Structure 1
Amino acid sequence: MKCPNCDGKILGRIGNDQYYCWTCCLELSVEKGKINVHQIEEDGSLSSLNDLFYQSGS
């Protein structure tokens, strides 16, 4: 698996179907074959970045 943001392969596994990209510091999760991309905020919460990577209706 590669990061959809930086195309990097340096991913760490942080849970079942959850990964962390060490290059661009994004959290990735796989659900029903789709990669969900999240930014980790300063308070530890996650903000979805899917709208930046996927078009509506896909």
Structure 2
Amino acid sequence: MRCPHCNSRDFGKIGANQFYCWGCFMEFNVTGEDVRIYEVAEDGSLVALDEVAEAVSVESSAV
């Protein structure tokens, strides 16, 4: 298995179906065929990568 974000093999299991990648510093969940990727915020909370993409899209359209 490899990180779905950076393709690294340098990750560890941190919970049930939950992993942390040391290559890109992202967390991801694997549930069957479904994979969700999360960015770790400064306060330690998880922000889904699709939510980050939406926020960037809103910022660039506001400019």
Q: Could you say whether these structures have the same fold, taking a TM-score greater than 0.5 normalized by the shorter chain as the test? A: yes
Q: Which residue of 1 aligns with 2:28?
A: 28
One-letter amino acid of the counterpart of residue 19, structure 1: F
| Structure (1 or 2) with the greater helix fraction | 2
Name the larger-Rg structure.
2
Overall identity of the aligned pairs, in %: 38
Runs (5+) with no aligned partner, structure 2: 54-63
Q: Which runs of 4+ in 1 moved over 6 A?
A: none
Q: How many residues align?
A: 52
CA distance in 2, matches of 1:32, 1:7: 18
With normalisation by structure 2, the TM-score equals 0.72
The RMSD of aligned alpha carbons is: 1.5
